[in-house]
Structure 1
Amino acid sequence: MKLLTYLNGASRRVGLAVDDALIDPIEAGGDPAFFADTTAFIRGGAAAMAAARALIPTASRRPLAGVRLAAPMIPTTILCSGSNYRAHNAEKAGSPLSGREPEFFVKTGDCVIGPDEPIVHDPILTRKLDCETELAVVVGKPGRHIAVEDAHEHIFGYTIVNDVTARDRQVRRNAEGFTWYELGRGKAFDTSAPMGPVIVTADEFGDPQAKMLRTRINGELRQQSSTAEMIWGCADLVHFFSVNFTMRPGMVILTGTPAGTAWSSDTELGGRWEPAPGLVAATRYCAPGDLVESEIEGIGVLRNPVAAA
């Protein structure tokens, strides 16, 4: 099942995407308690899923083309794991913990924008605005200290998040060449978490460690990798973050990005670009007028323009 949020005038409505068409479950007679918003649907668990499936055969449909999508949800918390692809670690300046344990940082719902909404290029905040396509895990069932082997029971589904980053705020280096990361101002700011276009439920998505991921900027292929290349898989990350937080419906976990970021071509910040078949090296960071396309197999393409502040 594919779950989305769309704009109906000034309101946001939950929708189901079926065969390139939109079903509005409330218009189809669904229980508003389940379909008030995405988080309510996730909290509804198996009963909400059954209610949605019962609507699909007879509900009226409209073409998805032309429907204005919003972010599929506004997460309560976005738990982020950096340095989670070996090739990305190899292309950037290393810190003492790179590749040894997940980098742990947080974004908030205030960072989230939806498909086609602009990523704001604010030169007061950063002159090195970078983009990272990431598979995002949507938490479905509460739990704390979740074992890796039980993690799948706590995953509702998956979506795409672009982990937009202010590299000149994130990467710090001293005169001796020691590198460390500032993961506050470098990661969490307005429009730094484009999300969408849909959430795909875990049963439909299949194996999250066997999906292709791509980033295109102005049509140039910058990133291409399989989620099989993660150091810590989705189940590992659910376990990891559940040590700190009780996992709750409405939380989202970001799983890191592969090689090919603009950082890799920035020698000033320790970048080390490595050629790969089909990939185009960045010659600069993102600028107003750029179009960023984040694609993950089985979910779709998240498109966002970059606009001046």
Structure 2
Amino acid sequence: MKLLTFVKQGVTSLGVKTEKGVLDVAEAAKEAGACVPDSVMSVIEEGVSALGAISDLVASTSASSAAWLRESDLEFGPCVTDPKKMICVGLNYRKHAEETNAPIPEFPILFNKFQNTLTAHGRDIAIPRVTNKLDYEAELVIVIGKKAKYVSKEDALDHVFGYCCVNDLSARDLQMRTPQWMLGKIGDDFSPLGPYLVTADEVGDPNRLNIKSTVNGEVRQQSNTSDMIFACDEIVSYISQHLTLEPGDVILTGTPEGVVLGYPPEKQIYLKPGDVVTIEIEKLGSLTNRFVGE
């Protein structure tokens, strides 16, 4: 199932992308007199039972219902609206480590972002005036669906609700100012998330997905999640040894080669106002944002 959020009368609402269009879940439930979760966080929390109720609602809503919307008319919200934790993995693709002349890490390199970084597909993103080196990073996101503590690698993916795209924006001049990377990662709207949250059953193996980014239509990154140093099951298991993962937590799993930082200095052209960046991951859709001056 492909879940999404959209803005309706100033409030974030839950939608489901289908072959018939996008179903406004709250509107369809109202028409049917049904009781179903009305937010993406509720669906993640309730899991299988919530997905079953929504699936039944999709099947029973007539084609003539006003609950069916055109995706092109929607203002998207982040596909995960209220994660308690945003955990990121750095240098997790072999070729990306090589292009930046970094050693292959022995353990996952972890850092965090905050909710101020969340934004959505189709939104403009302001380049902060404090950076001259804003870089794109196409990444696969793991969305946790079940509480996870001390889980094994073999059981780790059973705790995953689904996956989505993110552009892990990075202000390189701020990131490299100190040994800690956080400053370069926490700018407002530095984590556009979406367009869809795709359930794990529909994705299958998360480490066999094509991933790419384009800037103004030019392909900059083109790889596959199989190039990860630490696979998705390893990442979830490793993090769960150190803290408790909760439903709705998101894990950004690292970016492949092709970022601006990996180019020779004379060829490094960072994002500027007017640039349009699209992150595309197989089965998960395309996430597009335009950059503007602050």
TM-score computed with the length of structure 2 as normaliser? 0.93
Cα distance in 1 for partners of 2:243, 2:84 equals: 12
Q: Is 1:297 aligned with 2:282?
A: yes
Q: What is aligned with 2:143? A: 138
Conserved? CA contact 1:118–1:191, under 8 Å: no
User: Which stretches of structure 1, 4 residues or longer, exceed 3 Å deviation after superposition?
Assistant: 30-34
Q: What is aligned with 2:23? A: 23
Structure 2 gap segments, 5+ residues each: none
Conserved? CA contact 1:20–1:63, under 8 Å: no
Selected match of 1:81 from 85, 89, 108: 89
- Deviation larger for 72-81 or 126-135: 72-81
TM-score computed with the length of structure 1 as normaliser? 0.88
Q: What is aligned with 1:38? A: 40
Conserved? CA contact 2:261–2:268, under 8 Å: no
Alpha-carbon distance, 1:94 to partner: 2.1
AA in 2 matched with 1:71: P
Alpha-carbon distance, 1:257 to partner: 0.5
Q: Deviations over 1:83-114 (max 9, x none)?
A: 1000000011426xx42221100011111000
CA RMSD of aligned residues (A): 1.8
Cα distance in 2 for partners of 1:189, 1:146 equals: 32
Selected match of 2:245 from 225, 247, 261: 247
Cα distance in 1 for partners of 2:234, 2:34 equals: 35
Conserved? CA contact 2:153–2:233, under 8 Å: yes
Alpha-carbon distance, 1:159 to partner: 0.3
Q: Deviations over 1:215-247 (max 9, x none)?
A: 000111000001011111111110111122211
AA in 2 matched with 1:44: E
Q: What is aligned with 1:210? A: 208
Q: What is aligned with 2:108? A: 102
Conserved? CA contact 2:29–2:35, under 8 Å: no
More helix by percentage: 2
Structure 1 gap segments, 5+ residues each: 173-179, 269-281
- Call closer, same or farther: CA 1:15–1:207 in 2, change over 3 Å: same
User: What does residue range 119-268 of structure 1 map to in structure 2 within 5 Å?
Assistant: 119-124=125-130, 126-172=131-177, 181-267=179-265
Alpha-carbon distance, 1:300 to partner: 0.7
Cα distance in 2 for partners of 1:288, 1:26 equals: 37
AA in 1 matched with 2:60: T
Alpha-carbon distance, 1:9 to partner: 1.8
Alpha-carbon distance, 1:181 to partner: 3.6
AA in 2 matched with 1:22: V
Aligned pair count?
286
